[in-house]
Amino acid sequence: MIYCFLANGFEEIEALAAVDILRRAQIDVRTVSMNDDLFVVGSHDITVKADMKAADFDDTMSDVTGAIYPGGMPGAETLSTGENKLPVNVARYCVEKDILVGAICAAPIVLGRIGLLNNKNATCYPGFENELEGATYTGKKVTVDGNIVTGRGPGCSLDFALALVSKIKGEEEALNIRKTMQCDE
pLDDT in tens, 48-102: 999 999 999 988 888 999 999 999 999 999 999 989 999 999 999 999 999 999 9
Name the pTM for this structure.
0.96
Segments of the chain assigned E as strands: 2-6, 29-33, 39-41, 47-49, 52-53, 66-69, 100-104, 121-122, 136-137, 142-145, 148-151
Tell me if 66 sits within 8 A of 94, measured CB to CB.
yes
Rounded Cα gap, residues 59 and 39, in angstroms: 21
Indicate whether 184 pLDDT > 80. Answer: no
Q: Exactly one of 4, 94, 105, 124 is catalytic; which is it?
A: 105
Please name each of the domains of the chain with its CATH number: 2-180 (3.40.50.880)
- What mean pLDDT do residues 10-21 have? 98
Angle between helices 171-180 and 12-24 (to 10 degrees): 110
pLDDT mean across residues, the chain: 96
**Looking at residue 106, what is its pLDDT?**
98
Does 156 qualify as catalytic in the annotation? no
pLDDT confidence of 185, banded at 50, 70, 90?
A: low
**Looking at residue 82, what is its pLDDT?**
86
107-157 pLDDT, tens digit each: 999 999 999 999 999 999 999 999 999 999 999 999 999 999 999 999 999
